[in-house]
Structure 1
Amino acid sequence: MLLGIAALVAFLAGCGDGARSAGSVAADDRGCISRFSPDVDYFPVKSTFTHARNVTITYHGSYEILTVNQPYPGGKPESYVLVRCGAPAPALTGALADAPRVEVPIRSLYSASTTHLPLLTDLGRAEVLTGVANAASVVDAGIRGRIADGKVVEYAGGGQIDVEKVVTAQPDVLMTGGTDTPQYPAIRRAGGTVLANAEWLEGDPLGRAEWIKVMAALTGDEEKAAKVFEQITTDYTAIAARARAAGGPPVRVLPGSMYQGTWYMPAGGSYVGKLLADAGAVYPWADSRDTGSLELSFEAVYARGGDAPVWLTDGEWTTIGEAVAADSRYGTLAAVRGGRVWSNTLAIGPGGGNDYWERGVTRPDLVLGDLVAILHPDAVPGHRFAFYRQLPA
């Protein structure tokens, strides 16, 4: 039994009469209330957010209010009422009267993004996952095994959500990937619950990782989520300190690559910009306060960053030669001529999914460790790379 539910069951079993004046209460193994008392706090372990800015949780005895401030770019805040199973439906007014309600802990979840998968596995809750948008993009071996066994189905093959399939399956929650789609209203009208996960709109790497607490609010694992996030924060902070202690000037790098003729450069205010700064790197656009990517021409990139000795690319090439074959202009970069080209494609799944975009999003400590090992190898001797590899010629 996982810590959040265990803590609740122990709490309910051990409460004195002063804490539950309405009489004896109890919970089953799932954490559902068998004898409700309005005087009991059914969420004895509460999550607080220290880095995430796009989400809040408030607690109200037998239910909690989860609010995603921006569920997708430009979207208005969305709130969800998470009610402890076995408790009566709360009487709410105003905007919350019509807010989606979810009985927690949930038993089934459809995931629109592979970034949700490490949140579940880190909580020990892989069995909750019953649907994924695209099975081929999944890297995690355990999840792929559940897909192969028919325990997890694909519901949006080819990028199009099969509304009928979702509605028929009736998962407790369909968790979005932080984007909007016309199919979501149809699912809601049919009685399904669509809940936004927009961790990708967080500008702080640790803010993205802290969304494990959102998943824990659904699975009832608040205590375990706090411990996981505390360890990630501790490790991230320690690695950043090693980078600072390495001494010397920041290492000049060139991040990103071109897609259809446009170089997508992480802005300084983005989570990638923050990772690079913490790794002891500098690049010409580090002072940009934008939080997304800058769309630049190759000529603009070359003029300001073409002489950087290290290129951190997100291209899918397996060799430097493939990169140059894709666009001969890459061959003019100093990092290409010097052979110092690193790609975040070390861990590619059988279906072509990249673990950097799955586990790396919510494990910034692992990403930062790779970056520091690239830029300051003496600071992390014996480092085992999780996502990055140096491309051969």
Structure 2
Amino acid sequence: MANYGRSVQTIRLFIIAFLAFGFLLIFSVSGDQEPETKSLVDQVTPEYATGFTVEYHDDYKVVTVSNPWRGSDELYTYVLVNRDDTPPSLGKGEEVIEIPSERFVSLSSTHLPYLPILGITDCLKGTINPDTISTPEVLNLIQEGKVADVSGGGTGMATGINMEKMIELDPDLVMTYATGLAEYDTHPKLQEAGIPVVVNAEYMEEHPLGRAEWIKFISVFFNKEKEANEYFETIKNDYLSLEKSVAALSTENPTVFLGNNRQGTWYMAGGNSYVAKLLNDAGADYLWSDDQTTGSIPLDFEVVYDTALDADYWLNPGTAKKLKELLGEDARYSDFAAVKSDTIYNNNARMNNGGGNDYWETGVAHPEIILKDLIKIFHPEIVPDHNLVYYQHLE
């Protein structure tokens, strides 16, 4: 009987142990199966940018670029698939891009500041117009001979690309921009050559944070969404905090106008433009704020003269670095109140020897610093310890 009792007890212990193991196995399996897709932390969702969307699926991403240039209704859709994975069935116009990119070529300097932020600078293998680049980490790679110049024979927007050099580099991703003009656009030629290319349309964004948010677009091609989210959240909070400080002011906003007279035409930023948004957020009364244009407005000198003669500030007057240089362009400039009150500032404090203006490079990635510069100009009491970074006073 004693042996029988011990046997029953042994059986009971075995059953209890078996059940306990079963419960542990169930919870373990359910825990492993829960994150079927990427966690929300590793996904990006645009808040301010309106030109791209990202959809996440179990083993691929779909990135869509809309409004790639002014007046365009074209869509570019990219299906991002991890290397060695089988891509899904494609819809009309969809292109497969293998990720993460390891041999990257950028055809715009505005993409470059995001590379060190995302920790992917070493992936860069080629770019254009290297003499105009300002991003330090990229300049180091260029000087070390690790980044090739793929510029064509043209200049400015018509620089073009050296297709022979591009094919030699064998990139797995080229990022460019589009204008809708055949003489400037490079993506059709790259597509014909079978080179993976995507269109980045950040320059179409009207909100400064919207432009900076294209770091999220770049991040998805490198699986660096987490880093992009962290960076954007930081600069967004800084920007909004500054904007809130300005909104709390009870003083009257100073008036401001932009640009300069070039060969008989004065190009003024539209009231719905990127620059106009910055001025508004910095607490300035932009004299063309009622205009609905997102681009530039061509005006006669007389129109600007009549409207802006008594304005408190004059910003972004072309390429001038000294007041004497600016006044040498047109003797009538001396009539403006901003000249008499010595309140002219230009956004060319960080020009390099190759003619590149860092305002349009790292400045795009740092709208919070540009905003702080503008607040320093219009309302210095809000940021007393700030020194101008992208702007300089014309003396």
Indicate the TM-score class for this superposition, using the shorter chain for normalisation: 0.7 to 0.9
The 5 Å alignment of 1:298-313 reads 298-313=301-316
* Ranges in structure 1 where 5+ consecutive residues have no aligned partner: 1-14, 22-38
The 5 Å alignment of 1:105-144 reads 105-144=100-139
Question: Is 1:245 the equivalent of 2:248?
Answer: yes
Question: Is 1:161 the equivalent of 2:164?
Answer: no
1:65 pairs, out of 42, 62, 69, with: 62
Q: Match of 1:102, as an amino acid?
A: I
4+ runs of 1 displaced by more than 4 Å? none
Q: Tell me the distance in 2 between the aligned counterparts of 1:111 and 1:259.
A: 31
Q: Tell me the distance in 1 between the aligned counterparts of 2:338 and 2:244.
A: 26
Taking a change above 3 Å as real, the CA distance of residues 242 and 189 of structure 1, as seen in their structure-2 partners, is: same
Which residue pairs with 2:11 in the alignment?
A: none
Question: Is 1:375 the equivalent of 2:378?
Answer: yes
Question: Is 1:145 the equivalent of 2:140?
Answer: yes
Q: Secondary structure at the match of 2:228?
A: helix
Question: Is 1:48 the equivalent of 2:58?
Answer: no
Q: Match of 2:86, as an amino acid?
A: P
Larger deviation: 249-258 or 363-372?
Answer: 249-258
Q: Deviations over 1:312-364 (max 9, x none)?
A: 12421121110011222222211112211101111112322111011112321
Identical amino acids, percent of aligned pairs: 37
Larger deviation: 46-55 or 314-323?
Answer: 314-323
* Ranges in structure 2 where 5+ consecutive residues have no aligned partner: 1-26
Which residue pairs with 2:367 in the alignment?
A: 364
Highest Rg: 1 or 2?
2
The 5 Å alignment of 1:194-205 reads 194-205=197-208
Task: Give the length in aligned residue pairs.
Answer: 359
Q: Tell me the distance in 2 between the aligned counterparts of 1:109 and 1:337.
A: 50
The 5 Å alignment of 1:311-350 reads 311-350=314-353
Q: Deviations over 1:38-67 (max 9, x none)?
A: x94256611111111111000111110110
Q: Secondary structure at the match of 1:377?
A: coil
The 5 Å alignment of 1:142-291 reads 142-157=137-152, 158=155, 159-180=159-180, 181=184, 183-291=186-294
Which residue pairs with 2:80 in the alignment?
A: 82
Taking a change above 3 Å as real, the CA distance of residues 274 and 387 of structure 1, as seen in their structure-2 partners, is: same
Report if the CA contact (8 A) 1:256-1:264 is conserved. yes
1:91 pairs, out of 89, 92, 103, with: 89
**Over the residues paired in the alignment, what is the CA RMSD in angstroms?**
2.0
Larger deviation: 117-126 or 188-197?
Answer: 117-126
Q: Secondary structure at the match of 1:326?
A: coil
Q: Match of 1:48, as an amino acid?
A: T
Report if the CA contact (8 A) 1:126-1:143 is conserved. yes
Taking a change above 3 Å as real, the CA distance of residues 309 and 81 of structure 1, as seen in their structure-2 partners, is: same
Q: Tell me the distance in 1 between the aligned counterparts of 2:81 and 2:177.
A: 23
Q: Deviations over 1:186-234 (max 9, x none)?
A: 2212110121111111111111111010011011110111111111110
Report if the CA contact (8 A) 2:179-2:185 is conserved. no
Q: Match of 2:242, as an amino acid?
A: I
Which residue pairs with 1:4 in the alignment?
A: none
Q: Tell me the distance in 1 between the aligned counterparts of 2:120 and 2:341.
A: 45
Q: Tell me the distance in 2 between the aligned counterparts of 1:200 and 1:63.
A: 27
